Amino acid sequence: VQLQASGGGLVQAGGSLRLSCVVSGRTFSISSMAWFRQAPGKEREFVTAINWTGDRTYYTDSVKGRFTISRDNAKNMVYLQMSSLKPEDTAVYYCAAQRPYSGSGFDQPLDYDYWGQGTQVTVSS
């Protein structure tokens, strides 16, 4: 399974970006997916996750109401729509995927089996 994230860039505070992550390979071997981010000098942190059917989503408090995760299993895609961006959202954003039956955890990097290469998001003030 390979994941490739795209869509990052430079945006002014208050702006929007849409990240995409395409899954290739043994796509039937993934279930929940997530976005994490890592700012310079900080640990990788959970942003949001979505289950296989897309009817359950989870968000870290700092992005609730501003970010929306979605997926299109027919296209093997997961998206992150980011609005009202703030300078503190600046980070490298990574998409991640779980194998089925990986357990109930969803907000730790160790909960995920596959990772994309990351895409840089920079929000200027």
Contact at 8 Å (CB) between 63 and 121? Answer: no
Position 26 scores a pLDDT of 82
Quick one: which of 26, 1, 28, 9 has its CA closest to 82? 9
The per-residue pLDDT for range 21-78, each reduced to its tens digit, is 999 988 778 999 999 999 999 999 999 999 999 999 999 999 999 999 999 999 999 9
% of the chain with per-residue pLDDT over 70: 100
Position 104 scores a pLDDT of 80
pLDDT at 103 over 80: no
Quick one: which of 6, 90, 5, 94 has its CA closest to 49? 94
d(CA 43, CA 28): 30
Quick one: which of 87, 85, 88, 89 has its CA closest to 14? 85
